[in-house]
A and B are shown apart, each in its own frame.
Chain A
Amino acid sequence: MSKILFCEDDDLVRKMLKVATRTMPHETVMAGDGLQALEIIERQPPDLIFLDLHMPGMTGGELTEALRGRAEWAKIPVVLMTGDPDNAASLAVARHGAAGYLAKPFHLEDLRKTIQQLLPQIAEEAP
């Protein structure tokens, strides 16, 4: 089973994500900030990571760059979640080397599609 890490500082959004992904055929792990996310990644690297772009302490962008700097983590796709306008979000994706972004607020359908795109083999297994 593939593993997805969500890093989101807002408690309610984090809770919503946890509930929304409970029926998906993936293991989901939640982190409240960048440092927590790094600990989880070090213990057991996930297959896909969703990062809130604006977080206190380490931002999603900084964390993405940190991952890109480590060979064993460089290939893990990162999706930035942000309430920024599209142009700012695209810029952040390019600058930090992320796979894409999910504009807040998003439909759960879009979340599912993003996961399917980035984890296709596992998504196909799903009913």
Chain B
Amino acid sequence: MKIPPIPEDEAERLAALRSLDILDTPAEERFDRITRVARTTFGVPIALISLVDANRQWFKSRFGLDVGETPREVSFCGHAILSRDTFVIEDALADPRFVDNPLVTEEPRIRFYAGHRLVGPGGHHMGTLCVIDRRPRQLDPPAVQALQDLAAWAERELNAVEWEEAARKLRQSENRFHAIFHSAALGIALVDRDGRLLSCNRALGRIFGYSPQELIVHEKLPFQLVVESEAIDASHLEPRAGEPGGHQVDVRSKRKDGEPIWLTLTVSRVEDEGGSEHFRILMFDEITQRHRAKEQLNLALEAEQAARRRLERLNQVQSQFISMVTHDFRTALTGIQGFSEMMRDEEFSPEEMREYATDINEDAKRMNALIASMLELSKGQDGSSREAS
């Protein structure tokens, strides 16, 4: 007896088989109807859907056989899964590989076997759909075709679990994406390379003051973006090489109602499998509040600097004024001191005395005027109006 060889992809094959979660599950009508059709079609006593596990073959569906599984080493199916072609043994007793096989020499006394492999996840062969008879038979080409058709049917049922799961996961992933897309605070638009709008989320509408319906009826995004006083549209936003996270730029735009807004725009491109551009993702982060706060801060800083400059100028004017006043005081005092010392120490005629006293008085008046203008300056907070004085 020839023990069926182990396929080269055995480890992956077994992993794929396990991933179907089908081994040792109860019989199911969707498989049983296939073996029922097979038995009738070929007029055989036994029809099986057999899955080849590590050490056994296990029957998901069986007609005409009492046991649920048999050892892999005596199995016909272990041989059948090695090939893409239909595996046919017309007379087991005439075949040295099976002549002493216990399944041949004892119950169920197999003489004829025809099995076609069932392809599972990853293209690995999971098992077979096979028909068995207790007498030798031949299989003409139309019959082989029929067996293959039934096998294809069984294959679909086998993988249906997988498909359902994949579809469920895809739906889940889509729902998740949809939720993220629409609940995101960022405005997101998908546009093709010509700037045509493919899809956009609710936040985008909210930011620009459009309802989602209004946005989607536009062929292109219905607003203009301005980068440093240069107007652009979505098709001009070139994602740059070397910026895998997308190219970021601060832009100015207007809401539908004309209200100006500021945004940080991130542009990234999505490529198809061939590496050419599929579409662009534009993400808008509204920064109007931040921008306004920054502007106000700048204004406040400018005002503070202007105040500081004014104060410096005022200080300068004041110190110039003080130095000027000091000089004028001292000049006037020079006259007063000189004349009074002379009047004290020297002899003068009454006319001269009167004249010099008048001069002293003149200087006293000048000093009084100086004091008046000093008081004027100290009253005013803003010295700029007196800069010229």
Contact = CB atoms under 8 A, between A and B. Distances in A.
Contacts of A71: none
Interface string A103-124: 0111111000000000000000
Contact of B335 (A13, A54, A81): A13
Contact of A104 (B331, B341, B359, B362): B331
Nearest to A106: B334
A13 B329 contact: no
Interface in A61-82: 81-82
Residue of A13, A81, A106 contacting most chain B CB atoms (<10 Å): A13
Nearest to A53: B327
Interface stretch (A15-23, A32-40, A41-49): A15-23
B337 A107 contact: yes
B7 interface: no
A84 interface: yes
Contacts of A81: 334
Interface residues of A, number: 20
Interface string B309-331: 00000000000000100111111
A83 B335 contact: no
A10 interface: yes
A25 to B, nearest CB: 16
B321 to A, nearest CB: 14
A107 B339 CA distance: 10
A13 B356 CA distance: 11
Contacts of A12: 332, 335, 359, 362-363
Contacts, number: 60
Contact of B342 (A13, A104, A105, A108): A108
B327 A105 contact: no
A61 B332 CA distance: 21
B64 interface: no
A43 B342 CA distance: 31
Contacts of B332: 12
Interface residues of B, number: 23
B330 A104 contact: yes
Contacts of B336: 105
B338 interface: yes
Nearest to A102: B334
Interface string A80-95: 0111100000000000
B356 A107 contact: no
Interface string B323-367: 100111111111111110110011000000000100100110000
A106 B337 contact: yes
A107 B326 contact: no
Nearest to B345: A108
A104 B328 CA distance: 10
A19 B333 contact: no
Contacts of B334: 10, 13, 16, 81, 83, 104-106
Given A12-B335, A16-B335, A19-B356, A105 B363 contact: no
Contact of A83 (B327, B337, B341, B356): B327
B357 to A, nearest CB: 13
A15 B337 contact: no
Nearest to A14: B335
A53 B335 CA distance: 16
Nearest to B362: A12
A62 to B, nearest CB: 17
A22 to B, nearest CB: 9
Contacts of A54: 327
A107 to B, nearest CB: 6
B339 A83 contact: no
Contacts of B331: 10, 13, 83, 104
The 8 closest A-B pairs by CB, nearest first: A83-B330, A105-B333, A16-B338, A12-B335, A105-B334, A104-B330, A83-B327, A105-B337
20 contacts: A10-B331, A10-B335, A12-B362, A12-B363, A13-B331, A15-B359, A16-B334, A16-B335, A19-B338, A20-B342, A54-B327, A83-B331, A84-B327, A104-B330, A104-B333, A105-B337, A105-B338, A106-B338, A108-B342, A108-B345
Given A104-B334, A108-B338, 15 more contacts: A12-B359, A13-B334, A15-B359, A16-B339, A16-B342, A19-B338, A19-B356, A20-B342, A81-B334, A83-B330, A104-B330, A106-B337, A106-B338, A108-B341, A108-B345
